[in-house]
Structure 1
Amino acid sequence: MTRFISALLALFALVLPLATQADPADIDAAARGVVRVVIIGSDGDEVFPISHGTGFAVSPTRIVTNAHVVREALQDDTLQIGVVPSEGDDATYARIVSVSPNNDLALIEITGSLRLPPLTLSGGPIGDSGEVSSVGYPRNVDQAQGLEIEDIFNSQPPVKSRGFISGTRPTRQFDSILHTAPIARGNSGGPLLDGCGRVIGVNSFGAESGSSEAEFYFAVSMKELIPFLNANGVPARVNELPCRSLSELDEAERARIEAEQDKARSDLAARSEEQREKRERAQLEAELEVQAERENAMLFTLLLLLVGTGAGVVAWQGWQKRQAAKVEDGATADPRDERKLMIGGSIAAVALIAALALWFTRPGLDAIDRKVDAAMAEDGDGNDTPGAKATASGALTCTLDVSRSRITGAPDETVEFGWQDDGCVNGRTQYGLASGEWSRVFVPDQDEAVSINYYDPATETFRTDRYLLGRNAMSAAREARGKYSPPSCDRANAAAELGDLQGAVTSLLPEAPNERLVYRCEVKE
């Protein structure tokens, strides 16, 4: 019975689909763009918070939240809206751009210098299951920490909670997602994220429940949010691809490489068999051809010898008659005998020389090998290596290979870049060589992400690993990057030197990237 139950459980594990697991690194990356939205009152020079909710960036300066979060500020123009980021001390103010009470959405815009990393929206279908995460600033957590209401002006990391989608269902006013990722007062306006950190909804309210009942929560769905952003001219980052983990991607890549290797071995075996059969046919044809050539040469040699012998006999007869004439005193030699001697002798000599030349120049057995090699080389099959191709240099155009990529944002479908065999671009060694890989590290001043570009000249594959870092981690990466400059191209071992220098940045990065983009490249025409 125990074995039966174990076997049954194993069968269920194979048959039942597994829920997509949230990647903590992706949730953390999304949390960088989540802010506390504070409604602020004033009394003279004193300002004080009245209420707060959550919002998230859909552009560097624009933030989505709930309409009910900013309702008080909309009704009372003496109130202000504050925005407090998760890191740093640059809290600022915002103004209302648009409010849609019917679907509980609002769009506000930062009026100060603060810039935020926008979150990516999920444009794919939402199923009836799967793990999700709520990110925001629940008020009960602030109270449990003993924070005073004034403390909400200070940066705090948002709270993350996990749950599952329980289905999609329209309310009386708007389309919503039902889920079990806990939210509380203060979470309103915060994002509901899928396993890749993409927004699938805007948390709005919870269902009333007693202590003995399961708790459910509602989020405004993408069917409401995307049209709302479009109507307000916000070019949101939308990703419609399925959420894949890096482990799934790595496993698929291993399977792809193994399949390519199996195919290469199969092609090589088939090619070898084809070459063997072709060589056997060429060998047989060459043997027959050489044998025929040798037999023809021997036959013509025999004919030449016969001709030469006949001509020699005629010449001999002419010589004998001339000699007989000399013996008889006073006799005159017959001119015809002289012609026989001259013509017969000439023909005999030529025939003998030709016979000897034909005999010694008849094809030998080594001619068989030469003919076989010539036949094998006719189709260009001589020494070609299967799968070999030249390394491309110069301006390259690379196209995104979605099947080999983990895409959490909205990347470019094509990229162009210049490549030289020594990693040199514009007089500087831009690509460093370390552990057999060509790579280039980008640490931008504005974008809150570090990118490492890899290029494999042998396969013409371009890859970008993107690490979505918080403010403090980005500051450390920028500081490390600022301490070195790429060496000039004429310096000895410049690529290896740059590879070592880039280690100062790569050593600060997480173990795995948040996004991996793989491109196939070709020379730009």
Structure 2
Amino acid sequence: MTRLLALLLALFALSPSLSVPARAADDISAASRSVVRVVTVAMVDGEVVGFGHGSGIAISPTRIVTNAHVVESAAKYPGNVALGVVPSEGQKSFAGKLIAIDTARDLALIEITEGRLPAAAIYTGPLDSGADVVALGYPGNVDLATARSANDYITPRTPTRSEGNMSNMQSVDGVAMLIHTAKISRGNSGGPLVDQCGRITGINTAITRADDGDSPFAFAIAGRELMRFLADANQPYTSVGTTCVSMAEADARDRAAIDAEARASAEANAAKEAAAKLDRDLKQARAEEDALASRENRIALAGVFFVIGALAAGAGLMFYNQKNLRNAKIAGGAGAVLILGAAVLFVTRPDAHAEIAEETAAVAATGAPKLAQGNFLCTIRPDRSRITVSATTDVPIAIGKGGCVNGRTQYTQGADDRWQRILVPNDEATVTVASIDATGRDYRVDRYLLDAETMTKARETRAAITLKSCTANPDELAGLAAQQDAIRSALPASPNERLVYRCQPASGAAVKPAAAP
């Protein structure tokens, strides 16, 4: 036993260990990345005199929540008890430091002195009786059945998941507790109880005895108690209150919203066309009335000219008979001009039917549309999104010429005419696919919460991307598009999270509309 405990001290030497296999990017697996094993090792005069272990979950990249009773010995004897944190994946374990403890709520906060972990989000929405829940952690009975050496206790590995249902919420000694049926045991203490989207609903802390055939129930400290504890410890955290829906449900709602918008647009266009037709008909009627009046006026004027011309010609004939040749020429000439004018007016009279000029419609240019330019403020559309771990604050976006976003990030145009960029950070186990449509009004963020192996592959592919700023060079754009396609091919078929935003021109900012090339 002493040899086993001595080997556990390797935690604090941050010794390398075996890596874990890649996991599918489902929501529970994504939450599992944040789960850790918490180990305490007690020493007196250089000798190991005791150890314990439980579970915990990262609430920030460097801080972990667990039960107070898991780290109670470290709080009582800080000089003799060391804390260790074993993540669920990777190749290292880390030393930990106790930051805060609340024995009344049975919660504690630990900080790792190096390394970073994916942080989980706390669910703040309603949790109905009968809702599906999952307990994640490292139950001791599983360890006893599977551990073959001390190294197994310090090797990062996937936590055990146990599914059950929410029963109800009760107050135990003034602390709100979730009672559920997910099976847990010693070692699960401090591990999370999550919903089907992988959000923390509570922290597992105790189980009932199953004596004489009694059904076992488990207790988890409610999320609201966890948030109060974190607030008291001045620890920031991410919270999400939206209902958990599957990606298929989110896609269906998104398609329904798109179809509804398309129908509304079609109806608006139809109404606009009907109004335009009515306006054209009214203009046509007025034009025909004007044409008829003009025709009648022209004929009447021709008649007047003809009558006056005939009278002048008669006067000229009379003057001729009177041998008054001068007046005869004047009267005869005037009569001839007037009669000729009458003939011209009659011949050139307008048609009674008029044609109004057709309004020239904008001709749709061929080719892919260019991306709109300007400053936009994008607001989340919860009805079209699947939100699991991310904040949903408004996002400002500045779109420049040729897909240059925010003055530094080059987007490329995809086969669907959306402009996109795949982001693979070094300090976060998440791949983000950001895209925007040509109008600049529909902005989407797909987030893939990936295991360590898949993230390593994505980072290796991203390392080949040498473009670090915006460009208009066709060869560089083609290379960027090809490299992004290579990253996408390594991603799961569906993201864990999809954030759909509706963008509007930012106040006081001019927006250049999209135009065809």
Fold in common (TM above 0.5)? yes
The structural deviation recorded for 1:277 is: 4.0
The structural deviation recorded for 1:223 is: 2.1
Deviations 1:488-510 (A, max 9, x none): 73433544432222122111111
Q: What is residue 447 of structure 2 aligned with on the other side?
A: 466
Q: What is residue 399 of structure 2 aligned with on the other side?
A: 419
Q: Does 1:356 align with 2:343?
A: yes
| Paired residue secondary structure (2:310) | helix
TM-score by length of 2: 0.85
| Paired residue secondary structure (2:402) | coil
CA distance in 1, matches of 2:347, 2:479: 66
Deviations 1:291-321 (A, max 9, x none): 2221221111111100111111112221232
The structural deviation recorded for 1:248 is: 0.6
Q: 1:426 to 1:188 in 2, by over 3 A?
A: closer
| Paired residue secondary structure (2:104) | helix
Task: Report % sequence identity.
Answer: 36
Q: 1:173 to 1:263 in 2, by over 3 A?
A: closer
| Paired residue secondary structure (1:300) | helix
Q: 1:49 to 1:448 in 2, by over 3 A?
A: farther
RMSD of aligned Cα (Å) = 2.7
Q: What is residue 314 of structure 1 aligned with on the other side?
A: 315
Q: What is residue 476 of structure 1 aligned with on the other side?
A: 457
Q: Does 1:394 align with 2:363?
A: no
Which has the larger displacement, 78-87 or 427-436?
427-436
Q: 1:413 to 1:345 in 2, by over 3 A?
A: farther
CA distance in 1, matches of 2:370, 2:445: 23
Q: Does 1:507 align with 2:489?
A: yes
Whether the aligned pair in 2 keeps the contact of 1:434 and 1:496 (CA below 8 Å) is: no
| Paired residue secondary structure (1:115) | coil
CA distance in 1, matches of 2:381, 2:263: 21
Q: 1:213 to 1:426 in 2, by over 3 A?
A: closer
Whether the aligned pair in 1 keeps the contact of 2:25 and 2:448 (CA below 8 Å) is: no
CA distance in 2, matches of 1:48, 1:406: 49
Q: 1:391 to 1:86 in 2, by over 3 A?
A: closer
Q: Does 1:106 align with 2:92?
A: no
Q: What is residue 326 of structure 1 aligned with on the other side?
A: none
Structure 1 alignment gaps of length 5 or more: 1-22, 323-336
Whether the aligned pair in 1 keeps the contact of 2:400 and 2:406 (CA below 8 Å) is: no
CA distance in 2, matches of 1:308, 1:464: 85
Q: What is residue 11 of structure 1 aligned with on the other side?
A: none
Whether the aligned pair in 2 keeps the contact of 1:66 and 1:105 (CA below 8 Å) is: yes
Deviations 1:375-414 (A, max 9, x none): xx5xxxx52699xx99621333322222211111232422
Whether the aligned pair in 2 keeps the contact of 1:65 and 1:107 (CA below 8 Å) is: yes
The structural deviation recorded for 1:48 is: 7.9
Deviations 1:188-209 (A, max 9, x none): 0011101111101010001112
User: Aligned partner of 1:103: which letter?
Assistant: R
The structural deviation recorded for 1:428 is: 7.9
Q: What is residue 20 of structure 2 aligned with on the other side?
A: none
Q: How does 1:333-344 map to 2 (within 5 A)?
A: 337=324, 340-341=327-328, 343-344=330-331
Q: How does 1:79-118 map to 2 (within 5 A)?
A: 79-111=81-113, 113-118=114-119
Whether the aligned pair in 2 keeps the contact of 1:433 and 1:496 (CA below 8 Å) is: no
Q: How does 1:70-85 map to 2 (within 5 A)?
A: 70-77=71-78, 78-85=80-87
Deviations 1:19-46 (A, max 9, x none): xxxx971111111111111011236666
Q: 1:458 to 1:175 in 2, by over 3 A?
A: same
Q: What is residue 388 of structure 2 aligned with on the other side?
A: 408
Q: Does 1:435 align with 2:422?
A: no
CA distance in 1, matches of 2:25, 2:212: 29
Whether the aligned pair in 2 keeps the contact of 1:392 and 1:522 (CA below 8 Å) is: no
The structural deviation recorded for 1:433 is: 2.8
| Paired residue secondary structure (2:120) | coil
CA distance in 1, matches of 2:395, 2:120: 22
Q: What is residue 345 of structure 1 aligned with on the other side?
A: 332
Which has the larger displacement, 408-417 or 487-496?
487-496
TM-score by length of 1: 0.84
Whether the aligned pair in 2 keeps the contact of 1:204 and 1:219 (CA below 8 Å) is: yes
Whether the aligned pair in 1 keeps the contact of 2:464 and 2:483 (CA below 8 Å) is: no
Deviations 1:203-262 (A, max 9, x none): 000111236332210000022111110111111101111112111111112222222333
Q: What is residue 437 of structure 2 aligned with on the other side?
A: 456
| Paired residue secondary structure (2:99) | strand
The structural deviation recorded for 1:359 is: 2.4
| Paired residue secondary structure (1:369) | coil
The structural deviation recorded for 1:518 is: 1.2
Q: How does 1:480-499 map to 2 (within 5 A)?
A: 480-486=461-467, 489-492=471-474, 494-499=476-481
Which has the larger displacement, 89-98 or 282-291?
282-291
User: Aligned partner of 2:495: which letter?
Assistant: P
Whether the aligned pair in 1 keeps the contact of 2:67 and 2:190 (CA below 8 Å) is: yes
The structural deviation recorded for 1:182 is: 1.0
Whether the aligned pair in 1 keeps the contact of 2:66 and 2:189 (CA below 8 Å) is: yes
Q: What is residue 330 of structure 1 aligned with on the other side?
A: none
Q: 1:132 to 1:456 in 2, by over 3 A?
A: same
CA distance in 2, matches of 1:427, 1:177: 48
Whether the aligned pair in 2 keeps the contact of 1:434 and 1:500 (CA below 8 Å) is: no
Whether the aligned pair in 1 keeps the contact of 2:254 and 2:383 (CA below 8 Å) is: no
Q: 1:263 to 1:470 in 2, by over 3 A?
A: same
The structural deviation recorded for 1:463 is: 0.8
The structural deviation recorded for 1:145 is: 0.7
CA distance in 1, matches of 2:212, 2:301: 114
Structure 2 alignment gaps of length 5 or more: 1-23, 510-517
Q: What is residue 499 of structure 2 aligned with on the other side?
A: 517
CA distance in 2, matches of 1:286, 1:41: 100
The structural deviation recorded for 1:342 is: 5.0
Whether the aligned pair in 1 keeps the contact of 2:41 and 2:82 (CA below 8 Å) is: yes
From 354, 358, 361, the counterpart of 1:368: 354
Q: How does 1:154-165 map to 2 (within 5 A)?
A: 154-165=155-166
Aligned residues: 477
Q: 1:128 to 1:95 in 2, by over 3 A?
A: same
| Paired residue secondary structure (1:128) | coil
Whether the aligned pair in 2 keeps the contact of 1:422 and 1:495 (CA below 8 Å) is: no
Whether the aligned pair in 2 keeps the contact of 1:427 and 1:489 (CA below 8 Å) is: no
Q: 1:42 to 1:193 in 2, by over 3 A?
A: same
Whether the aligned pair in 2 keeps the contact of 1:48 and 1:150 (CA below 8 Å) is: no
Q: 1:46 to 1:272 in 2, by over 3 A?
A: same
CA distance in 1, matches of 2:48, 2:38: 15
| Paired residue secondary structure (1:204) | strand
Give the structure, 1 or 2, with the largest relative contact order (CA under 8 Å, sep 6 or more): 2
Q: Does 1:228 align with 2:229?
A: yes
Deviations 1:441-490 (A, max 9, x none): 10111121110111111462111101111222212211110022239734
Q: What is residue 19 of structure 2 aligned with on the other side?
A: none
Whether the aligned pair in 2 keeps the contact of 1:439 and 1:499 (CA below 8 Å) is: no
The structural deviation recorded for 1:423 is: 2.6
Q: What is residue 11 of structure 2 aligned with on the other side?
A: none
Q: What is residue 304 of structure 1 aligned with on the other side?
A: 305
